[in-house]
Structure 1
């Protein structure tokens, strides 16, 4: 695979051929970095995209080729003149031809030395351009990595802020419900449910219906946790729902309350009814279920 030139490299980087040629030539063909510096300095020039015209005159290598060709022609012409010169003896002709051949060999050696030197210079230039290109690519990669890291940091911060907003909203909702339904009804009782003592009934006189001021509820959460809590018998079922919301860590909205026997799922209308009217007094077992 042929090695890329400085012009090919700049075109691969996105510069137009005209701009790349102009920048390389007018920066003295000193490499990609100098050419890019030149483009940055002249990016506001109105004639930056005008077609590039190389200066007239000797182009690199042209004078050398002309000199070699002229030397070869002169050698042939001088050789012919020496052979045709009748005033020279054979020995003199051989001597002059020998000196001419030596001169030609000397020029060939000088040309080879120049070519070797030029090749070394070109190799140095190629290596320099390769190093410059490697540094440019490394800088681009570092910039890209920094940008990716910054984007990830911003996403993480935004995620943290979003979670904080959700927590704050939950706290506000809890506070609002506490103000609306909390009227002094929820008490922090965690003792197990005590069985209601049996009321002896006379076989002759019917027992009078007892009025209860409190309701003791046993509540089973979604995760299996069992809570026991006392409420006023005239409190609304919404107070029980608020108590469950405050106890749950997750899914504080999407649930219903129900009894198992007889099975009944309480509706939104039931939330406004007192516990006594819903048949939960003096004690009952409630289950938390998903909507």
Structure 2
């Protein structure tokens, strides 16, 4: 296709001068425009090029805007075939067209124009008949405005002037514009009616769709509720079955336990008895086979002494050894911690093997409480105690008076260390019973390492104190207050024992 390079006015002038049909190609930047442009450039249309004045208008552009004010542009791309003399659009080819289709339609337009020219010849300047533009109609499929040969003839006779008056080009253009406007309004009304019909159909379709959707939702909710109720019933039934099964299993276990409890208990007791007998037999065999006995003595203060004895050594020698080793002059007992057993004097003549102390054993040294002086009096101890009580009652007023005066003079003449207290210390130590070192005594205040000493001959509470005193693994703190708190002990982990 040979495209004209000038403007629209120049193209119209050239088309009128050469009597060629104006071919306006409206295109844009899309794939359909490229396809239609390729079809126009096909060699098949080369014979039609001399009879056409081809002009291209791109969307968007100023020329296309001016062109659209006269000829409505409905579809891009499209081809307008316009008569150069009357300005009437003979054919509008909308959309993508093939080269064969373009050849066929353009050839028909050219042939119809030739026939129209022969049937409706133009008059002289004072002519009586004027050729009128061809009407074109756009089909519903969007193929553009189609004109036929019969419509062109009818239009020509309809707009012919019977009185023979010549119409100017301006009247022709105005008449063509009115015709195009009428066609445009008709199409707009038809399009509006079609849109209304489609809107009504769309609303009906939406109503039906919403109704179907509500029905589906109601059905889904109903199915969900039914499934949920079914699941709950199944879960409840399963829980009931599970609880019944648990109850049956528990009952069976109780029955089995009740049935086997007595035999199992008897078997367990039998096994324990056999294990104990076996252990005793093993110890007895070890004691019989052992030639020596390693004895560990644990003293009341926590210290230990270890010595190796012959298995045939009498127990009296063991007692004598620990008494000599620790200088225990008082009475004490030897005992086993586990099993608990205290060795009495009747065991002194038995050997260590006979007492199951071989090959090794741990003996605890336990001090025995000394009997009071009242008990040493035999049958007359009660009478002596009675006379001593009477004597204490008689002497009590004098003792109290002496203590009062002593305290009074001690307050007037203070002394850091009374001589009487220092002098009475050796006498007090001599008067104390011979308690073995490391053996706990029966009285808490007269134990070894006691920190208090009362001054003889006075009722005063003047005492000589140490910071602390020790009895075995227990340390007792001393304070200046003479109250019951002095008996509190500390067990080494910052806690106080009463």
TM-score (norm 2): 0.21
Q: Relative contact order, CA 8 A, sep 6+: which one is greater?
A: 1
Which structure has the larger Rg?
2
TM-score (norm 1): 0.32
